[in-house]
């Protein structure tokens, strides 16, 4: 009688104890993936319907003006981004009517006639000087928050509504000049430093 080889016996017990790997339940995984995709589609559809509903609520806003044929000599110009418009003083109340809610690249020019906003892929608009109210540097507007003073906010009157429009120049340092120029158009300062 030959003695049992202990390592060989241990290997046989180990092989007997092992079970085959569980087969992946593809139907369950596919069900979860389809469910997740349907949920994402539902959320997207609800967001789109909310956007359209907001536009309907703001339908009383007049059409945006186009630039005049002769806007005059450019006082300032900048390239950057248009980040959207909100009701003045309410940085989360986004305005979407007439394309004002569409973010885009923008070329903005300030002339004596007003502010011309040219947006590739979105509707251009013009803010006449008479409708300008003020400009300031701020940190946020609906959907975009930057460091303090990172956004140029232009407040203007359109119909009976005051609007804040947010811009970010590719060269942020030039935004201060815009604030001074726009504010001086509405509130010229004399050499004595008092408002006229």
Q: How many residues does the chain have?
A: 196
> What is this structure's pTM?
0.67
Rounded average pLDDT per 10-residue block, the chain, 196 residues: 57 56 72 87 81 66 83 89 89 84 91 92 90 90 76 91 91 90 68 40
Q: How many domains does the chain have?
A: 2
Domain that holds residue 138: 74-186
Cα gap 48→115, rounded to integer Å? 30
pLDDT of residue 11: 59
Q: Same structural domain for residues 96 and 137?
A: yes
Judge whether 87 lies within some domain: yes
pLDDT of residue 23: 61
pLDDT of residue 15: 55
Cα gap 175→169, rounded to integer Å? 7
CATH number of the domain at 128, please. 2.30.29.30
Report the run of H or E that residue 31 belongs to, with start and end: helix 26-57
Judge whether 95 lies within some domain: yes
Tokens read off for 50: 């909310």
Judge whether 91 lies within some domain: yes
pLDDT of residue 134: 93
């Amino acid at each position: 009688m030959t003695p049992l080889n202990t390592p060989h016996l241990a290997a046989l017990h180990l092989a007997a104890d092992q079970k085959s790997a569980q087969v992946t339940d593809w139907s369950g995984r596919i069900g979860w993936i389809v469910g997740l995709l349907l949920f994402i589609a539902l959320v997207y559809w609800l967001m789109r319907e909310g956007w359209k509903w907001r536009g309907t609520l703001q339908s009383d806003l007049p059409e945006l003006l186009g630039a005049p044929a002769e806007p005059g000599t450019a006082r300032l110009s900048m390239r950057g981004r248009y980040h959207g418009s909100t009701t003045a003083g309410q940085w989360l109340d986004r305005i979407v009517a007439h394309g004002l809610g569409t973010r885009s690249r923008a070329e903005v020019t300030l002339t004596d006639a007003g502010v011309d906003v040219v947006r590739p892929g979105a509707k251009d608009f013009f803010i006449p000087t008479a409708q300008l109210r003020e400009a300031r540097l701020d940190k946020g507007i609906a959907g975009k928050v930057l460091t303090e003073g990172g956004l140029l906010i232009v407040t203007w009157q359109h119909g009976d509504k005051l609007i804040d429009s947010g811009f970010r120049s590719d060269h942020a340092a030039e935004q201060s000049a815009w604030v001074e120029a726009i504010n001086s158009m509405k509130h010229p300062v004399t050499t004595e430093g008092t408002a006229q």
